[in-house]
Amino acid sequence: MTAPMRSDCVIVPVSFGPRSYDIVIGRGVVSTLGTRIAALRPGTKAFIVTDDNVAHHTMPAAEASLKRAGVAAARLIVAPGEASKSYPVFERLCEAILDAQIERGDLVIALGGGVIGDLAGFAAAVVRRGLDYVQVPTTLLAQVDSSVGGKTAIDSPHGKNLIGAFHQPILVIADTALLDTLPPREFRAGYAELVKYGLLGDAGFFGWLEVYWRDIFAAEVSGNSAREHAVAVACRGKAGIVARDERETGERALLNLGHTFGHALEAACGFSDRLLHGEAIAIGMVLAFEFSARRGLVPAPAAERVKRHLAEVGLPTEPSAITGPLPAVERIMELIAQDKKVRRGMLTLILVRSIGSAFIEAGVDEREIRAFLSEKLVRR
């Protein structure tokens, strides 16, 4: 296995007929934001949504690109973190877009990580009954997962992403140079969503990640395009799935590998720094493999291999790694019951037959899950 050589950028198409769009991946591609928007929507105005952290690092380059292309832009800066995916911030954003006199022919730009993409995308879905929007993901997690596929949402006290809409962007600009500014913990959390694509449907990619993950974490070095390659592979994987199943009526549910357990743990921790989203998904994927192994679906060594790789990267792999008191089993079960994959009260999990072969298992007995979690939700 060798890492691929660099090219200026990679373009991954997402096919939705007349609603198709491109994911543009490469170092420095945020500088093309304005020209690409002007080409797609001549004469448009833009409303940028970002957070305090991204505003400091990336907003100047994005605004300069828009200005060069003659795209007028207003903006709103919100607090960083999951707490901004809330009713009060959503209301504030919608009113700010209207105050800026953004019209039906204009667009919203989501400049930030998954929180900003979800929040801005949901506002775009509903303000004036729907505005176009562009995703400019600035975290690894957002570049490989949340910016692609049109899922937008805010959180509820009942759980994560329960209030939202499907609304596809018209363009995704994934500038991998922006990832150089991420804190190590944030980068590792994003890697969990990256490795997910190998675990659910591409065993070869998982094997490649085991060899080249350090190159993905490394900042720019001559001839190293491992990061761009990894982002492109993940985006192609997701693009194919969402094009076949936009509204998650079947195959798209596979993208939730590790999310049933992970979202419940994240919610139980109050969507706080105790457990970042990607960290919760890392634990959730290990639990999904271990639950599958317990059922005899996957060999135990495969589950250990997954756990070993995630631990090597520096991700938590079991609930006992969560700081503070561990959630009670009954609280986790309550949150799992709110999962969007629940159908008529029956629990659904994404399980695995091997690395690279996930499947949807409906009608899982909650008693079996409760017994499994009772063993896992203990300090070791």
- The predicted pLDDT at position 274 comes to 94
Tell me if residue 263 is catalytic: yes
Is residue 161 annotated as a catalytic residue, yes or no? no
193 catalytic per annotation:
yes
Averaged pLDDT for residues 172-192: 95
pLDDT band of residue 220 (cuts 50, 70, 90) is: low
Confidence of residue 342 (pLDDT cuts 50, 70, 90): low
Q: What's residue 221's pLDDT?
A: 54
% of the chain residues with pLDDT over 90 = 87
Q: Is 252 part of the annotated catalytic residue set?
A: yes
Contact present, 189 and 278 (Cβ < 8 Å): yes
Catalytic residue among 82, 193, 228, 279: 193
Neighbours of 331 (CB within 10 A): 14
Catalytic site includes residue 259: yes
103 classed as catalytic: no
> Where do we find the tokens 């994927």?
285
Q: Is 257-380 in the same CATH topology as 1-248?
A: no
Distance CA 116, CA 110 (A): 6
Does the pLDDT of residue 343 top 70, yes or no? no
Q: Which of 155-159, 176-180, 311-315 has the lowest mean pLDDT?
A: 155-159
Domain ranges in the chain? 1-248, 257-380
State the CATH architecture for 257-380: Up-down Bundle (1.20)
Residue of 27, 160, 188, 263 marked catalytic: 263
Average pLDDT for residues 240-267, to the nearest whole number?
Answer: 94
Q: Which of 160, 236, 238, 376 is catalytic?
A: 238
Note the pLDDT tens digit of each residue in 150-162: 999 999 988 889 9
**Cα 161-164-170 angle, rounded to 5 deg:** 110
User: What would the two tokens of residue 118 be?
Assistant: 């979800």
Options 63, 186, 248, 266, the catalytic residue:
248
Q: pLDDT (tens digit, 9 = 90+) per residue, 48-66? A: 999 999 999 999 999 999 9
pLDDT at 341: 61
Q: Any idea what DSSP says for residue 343?
A: B
* Residue 328's pLDDT band (cuts 50, 70, 90): very high
Rama region for 7: left / alpha / beta (φ>0; ψ in -120 to 50; rest) = beta
Which of 9-13, 50-54, 222-226 is predicted least confidently? Answer: 222-226
More confident residue, 221 or 111: 111
Find the mean pLDDT for residues 9-36: 95
Q: Is the pLDDT of residue 270 over 50?
A: yes
Class of domain 1-248: alpha beta
Among 27, 36, 151, 309, the one annotated catalytic: 151
Answer yes or no: 248 catalytic: yes
Residue 340: active-site member: no
Average pLDDT over residues 171-179: 96
Nearest to 380 by CA among 321, 315, 324: 321
Residue 91 bears catalytic tag: no
Asked if residue 188 has pLDDT above 50, the reply is: yes
Q: What confidence score (pLDDT) does residue 291 get?
A: 98
Best CA proximity match to 134, nearest among 146, 158, 114, 117: 117
Catalytic one of 41, 160, 236, 277 = 277
| pLDDT-wise least confident of 2-16, 95-109, 242-256 | 2-16
Residues 12 and 230 sit within 8 Å (Cβ to Cβ): no
Catalytic residue among 252, 309, 340, 376: 252
Asked whether residue 238 carries a pLDDT value surpassing 50, the answer given is: yes
Report helix, strand or coil for 328: coil
Q: What pLDDT is attached to residue 1?
A: 37
Identify the active-site residue in 259, 307, 340, 376.
259
277 in active site: yes
Q: Residue 4 — pLDDT band, cuts 50, 70, 90? A: very low
Mean pLDDT across 224-247? 93
- Of 301, 293, 281, 305, the residue nearest 353 (C-alpha): 293
Q: What is the pLDDT at residue 268?
A: 93
